Structure 1
């Protein structure tokens, strides 16, 4: 099972974290299943950018983003060349390292 290394984030995992998830799982699902409560305002339907992450290692293993994801990412805060919507980034057999940006476009957070 691939490992997702999450770099420290002041709100979601101040010490950083590592979680395992089966290949075929989205990064967002894996984080939520392991207690890292990343924002996902659209309930993982690829309609917002609140689950935006930057893939620091293992980007190529996630497959190419589709046009819808690329269009949405254009609205994400802190966009980088290795940015992905975590709800659309599907794990393969390779480990990945991600960084959750400090801010998102979501002005009001809801408890999911």
Structure 2
């Protein structure tokens, strides 16, 4: 099970901490299931960059970045060394894990 902290670059939003998050789902799915806005134009198939996020802690709990994901991150707004796509960050099996991500300002993204 995971504890996941979502930070936001968008002004006026306070961090959200989710506890007891089950493995097997993506960070995008976790966000959407908890009413956290994270755009996803391509329908979660790694064909755009709208679910771009910054992985602050816990990258060891998700699969390594693929060449395809890296190509789309290059198209994202303000990519950084810790950029990932939420649709590609599936939570691995783990007894107790902590992940912290920061979501770019969603008001600056055109999408879902």
Q: TM-score, normalised by structure 2?
A: 0.84
Match of 1:87? Answer: 87
Higher relative contact order (CA 8 A, sep 6+): 2
Structure with the larger strand share: 2
List runs of 5+ in structure 1 lacking aligned partners. Answer: none
SS of aligned partner of 1:7: strand
Q: Which moved more, 1:27-36 or 1:92-101?
A: 92-101
Structure with the larger helix share: 2
Aligned length: 108
- The reply to whether residue 98 of structure 1 matches residue 101 of structure 2 is yes
List runs of 5+ in structure 2 lacking aligned partners. Answer: none
Kindly indicate whether the alpha-carbon contact (under 8 Å) linking 1:47 and 1:72 is maintained by their aligned counterparts in 2. yes
- The reply to whether residue 19 of structure 1 matches residue 18 of structure 2 is yes
Q: In 2, Cα distance between the equivalents of 1:38 and 1:65?
A: 19
Change (3 A) 1:79 1:91: same
Q: In 1, Cα distance between the equivalents of 2:26 and 2:85?
A: 9
- The reply to whether residue 73 of structure 1 matches residue 76 of structure 2 is no
Kindly indicate whether the alpha-carbon contact (under 8 Å) linking 2:52 and 2:103 is maintained by their aligned counterparts in 1. yes
Q: In 1, Cα distance between the equivalents of 2:24 and 2:106?
A: 27
Match of 2:54? Answer: 54
